[in-house]
């Protein structure tokens, strides 16, 4: 059990949370949610002991081990993959080194022999003899094949390193597991494997994630950071969301009824205060009025941007025709012979193991790069807009946000631009900040604003959910569901893909598969093939 007692944290005048008292029970999985900047990752650092709170403290049962998903992807460059995984269980790793050291001695003294026996005993008790096979299972499940197990971490790419660090956190069956965005940079199969693993995990899991499907699949409880407080609710994310929306509606309805009653009492008092026959009733109502209050709702840190895509004109039947196209996937090689036709009712999820191939597809059809071979023909009625995976080039400027967005707007009036930015959560002075200092999530909201102002009748989106919080992902999700035009997109967000797509285009290094099915149906077909 992990206990949080009277924990408070603030930076200057800004209070993240105050007087937090919580208990995390074994066998439960807690999903930590909250707006960007609410303090989710900070809270995990407090739980792990990496960060000291201003007040209060953290305690756990004696002998319990906490494992944390490390965020420094270059901390183990000189270690092998297997060694890095073992280092997640410090005691086992140290015993393993001591064991090797003792058995490397030409001769053992009696004292060293006794030490070796003690080491062997403890090594066996904590699963040392099964360590190699257990680590291999974790790595395989996360997409790191056996050929890399003895490789140095410095030889792996960024995505592979992230997977190894996740295996490190899972290794050795920790009593308390702290995971900050564990699904980032994982493919669909690895995410499914992790979901299955955590569903079977019998100890305590506390996880920060923006993946709604993941939270729904693995969480038994939701740990919500909002209003400067942290509260735990039973159920998964969907249950919490529906309950919170209902509670908010009930509170608003209650306040509205109270306001109506207060106005009714005030009206009676105004009318009959000077009427002798009604004076007693007026006095009675005034006493009642004095007791009535409208509950002041605290300002939530959770805010939803306004995402609404409109079309300047309806797209014709012919949107996009691709014939015999070759895509350059960089290190993964070329995909040849791609034939694809996009209809005006299609919402296509672009899937596949290799990000480079997917980005090459978007860049090619958007005219960013010339195809090596093949033809791309857009319909005469089509006005498309492209959201690239890497948007850095758009923000290499000192323009304020108002002036930045003005570049993409037919309407140049500052009031209009500020109003638009306000609906995308850039209010007040934030609209005047430099484009160069934006966070990843802020850049995405700006790019979505640019896309909305284009009034395009076809949308191309390469990982638009990256860097967004749950509220922004939900808003974008709803915006694309409501959009009447064709869309091609790729995303790591399962819920997003399932609720938007009606067609799947899978790109591989050896070919492609184009099917008019839902995302979940495609996943099931993949599971069938693996069996």
Domain assignment of residue 168, yes or no: yes
In a shared domain, residues 424 and 403: yes
From 235, 253, 281, the end of a domain falls on 235
In a shared domain, residues 379 and 520: yes
Domain assignment of residue 466, yes or no: yes
Model confidence, pTM: 0.79
Backbone angles phi, psi at 424, to 5 degrees: -100, 20
Specify the residue for token string 């499940």: 141
In a shared domain, residues 331 and 199: no
> What is the reported pLDDT for 345?
95
Q: What is the largest CA-CA distance in the chain?
A: 111
Domain assignment of residue 72, yes or no: no
In a shared domain, residues 425 and 405: yes
> What is the reported pLDDT for 247?
66
- Rounded-to-integer distance, Cα 464 and Cα 378, Å: 23
Beta carbons within 8 Å of 70's beta carbon, 6+ residues apart: 165, 168, 169
In a shared domain, residues 135 and 179: no
State the pairing for strand pair 176-180/204-208: parallel
In a shared domain, residues 194 and 273: no
**Cα-based angle 355, 360, 363 (whole degrees, multiple of 5):** 125
> What is the reported pLDDT for 169?
95
We report the CATH number of the domain holding residue 27 as: 3.40.50.300
Each of the 531 residues of the chain gets a pLDDT tens digit; together they read: 899 999 999 888 888 889 999 999 999 999 999 887 788 999 999 999 999 999 999 999 998 999 999 988 889 999 999 999 999 999 999 999 999 899 889 888 899 899 999 999 999 999 989 999 999 999 999 989 999 999 999 999 888 899 999 999 999 999 999 999 999 878 888 888 999 999 999 999 999 999 999 999 999 999 999 888 899 999 998 888 888 777 667 666 666 776 677 777 677 677 766 666 666 666 676 666 666 554 554 556 678 899 999 999 999 998 999 999 999 888 888 899 999 999 999 999 999 988 899 999 999 999 999 988 999 999 999 999 999 999 999 999 999 999 999 999 999 999 999 999 999 999 888 889 999 888 888 999 999 999 999 999 999 999 999 888 889 999 999 999 999 999 999 998 999 999 999 999 999 888 999 999 999 999 888 875 554
Picking from 336, 310, 351, 323, the residue whose alpha carbon sits closest to that of residue 503 is 351
From 291, 310, 330, the end of a domain falls on 291
Q: Tell me which residue range forms the domain holding 256.
A: 241-291
- Rounded-to-integer distance, Cα 471 and Cα 396, Å: 27
Q: Contact, 467 vs 487, CB < 8 A?
A: no
Q: In what order do the strands lie in the sheet with 320-328?
A: 334-342, 320-328, 375-378
In a shared domain, residues 197 and 168: no
> What is the reported pLDDT for 294?
45
197: tokens are 């693993």
In a shared domain, residues 153 and 286: no
Count of the separate structural domains present in the chain: 4
Q: Contact, 443 vs 434, CB < 8 A?
A: no
DSSP element (H, E) containing 338: strand 334-342
Question: 126: which DSSP letter?
Answer: T
In a shared domain, residues 103 and 24: no
From 291, 308, 332, the end of a domain falls on 291
- Taking the CB of residue 214, how many other CB atoms lie within 10 A of it? 27
> What is the reported pLDDT for 335?
92
DSSP element (H, E) containing 401: helix 401-406
Question: 299: which DSSP letter?
Answer: P
Domain assignment of residue 299, yes or no: no
- Taking the CB of residue 330, how many other CB atoms lie within 10 A of it? 12
What angle do helix axes 470-482 and 440-453 make, rounded to 10 degrees? 20
In a shared domain, residues 269 and 373: no
State the pairing for strand pair 2-11/14-24: antiparallel
In a shared domain, residues 113 and 226: no
Domain assignment of residue 426, yes or no: yes
Domain assignment of residue 303, yes or no: no
Domain assignment of residue 300, yes or no: no
Domain assignment of residue 185, yes or no: yes
State the pairing for strand pair 512-515/503-507: antiparallel
- Rounded-to-integer distance, Cα 120 and Cα 246, Å: 57
Q: Could you give the residue ranges of the DSSP H alpha helices within 236-305?
A: 237-272, 279-291
In a shared domain, residues 336 and 447: yes
Residue 431 C-beta-side C-alpha neighbours within 13 Å: 20
- Rounded-to-integer distance, Cα 46 and Cα 56, Å: 10
């Amino acid at each position: 059990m992990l206990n949080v007692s009277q924990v408070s944290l603030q930076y200057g005048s800004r209070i993240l949370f105050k007087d937090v008292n919580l208990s995390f029970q074994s066998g439960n999985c807690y999903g930590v949610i909250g707006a960007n900047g609410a303090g989710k990752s900070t809270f995990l650092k407090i739980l792990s002991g990496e960060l000291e709170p201003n007040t209060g403290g953290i305690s756990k049962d004696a002998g319990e081990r906490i494992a944390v998903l490390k965020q420094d992807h270059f901390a183990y460059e000189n270690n092998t993959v297997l060694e890095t995984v073992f280092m997640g269980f410090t005691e086992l790793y140290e015993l393993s080194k001591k064991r090797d050291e003792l058995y490397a001695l030409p001769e053992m003294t009696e004292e060293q022999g006794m030490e070796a026996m003690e080491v062997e005993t403890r090594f066996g008790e904590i699963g040392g003899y099964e360590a190699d096979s257990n680590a291999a299972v974790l790595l395989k499940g996360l997409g790191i094949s056996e050929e890399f197990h003895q490789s140095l971490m410095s030889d792996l790419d960024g995505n592979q390193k992230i997977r190894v660090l996740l295996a490190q956190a899972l290794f050795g069956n920790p009593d308390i597991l702290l995971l900050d965005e564990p699904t980032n940079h994982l493919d669909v199969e690895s995410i499914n494997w992790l979901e299955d693993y955590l569903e079977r995990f019998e100890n305590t899991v506390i996880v920060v994630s923006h993946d709604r499907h993941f939270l729904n699949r693995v969480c038994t409880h939701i740990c919500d950071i909002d209003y400067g407080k942290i509260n735990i609710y039973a159920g998964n994310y969907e249950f919490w969301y529906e309950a919170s929306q209902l509670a908010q509606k009930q509170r608003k309805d209650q306040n509205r009824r109270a306001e109506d009653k207060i106005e009714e009492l005030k009206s009676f008092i105004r009318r009959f205060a000077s009427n002798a026959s009604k004076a007693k009733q007026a006095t009675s109502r005034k006493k009642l009025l004095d007791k009535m209050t409208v509950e002041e709702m605290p300002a939530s840190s959770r805010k939803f941007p306004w995402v609404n895509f409109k079309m300047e004109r309806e797209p014709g039947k012919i949107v996009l025709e691709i014939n015999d196209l070759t895509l350059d996937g960089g290190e993964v090689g070329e995909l040849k012979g791609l034939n694809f036709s996009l209809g005006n009712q299609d919402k296509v999820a672009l899937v596949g193991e290799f990000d480079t191939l997917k980005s090459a597809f978007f860049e090619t059809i958007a005219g960013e790069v010339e195809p090596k071979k093949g033809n791309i023909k857009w319909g005469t009625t089509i006005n498309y807009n492209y959201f690239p995976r890497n948007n850095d080039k758009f923000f290499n400027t000192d323009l304020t946000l108002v002036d930045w967005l003005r570049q993409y707007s037919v309407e140049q009036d500052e009031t209009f631009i500020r109003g638009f930015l306000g609906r995308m959560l850039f209010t007040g002075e934030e609209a005047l900040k430099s484009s160069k200092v934006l966070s990843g999530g802020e850049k995405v909201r700006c790019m979505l604003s640019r896309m909305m102002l284009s009034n395009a009748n076809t949308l191309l989106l390469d990982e638009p959910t990256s860097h967004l919080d749950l509220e922004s992902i939900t808003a974008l999700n709803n915006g694309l569901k409501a959009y009447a035009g064709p869309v091609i997109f790729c995303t790591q967000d399962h819920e997003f893909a399932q609720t938007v797509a009606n067609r799947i285009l899978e790109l591989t290094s050896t070919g492609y598969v184009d099917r008019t099915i839902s995302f979940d149906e495609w996943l099931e077909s993949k599971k069938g093939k693996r069996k």
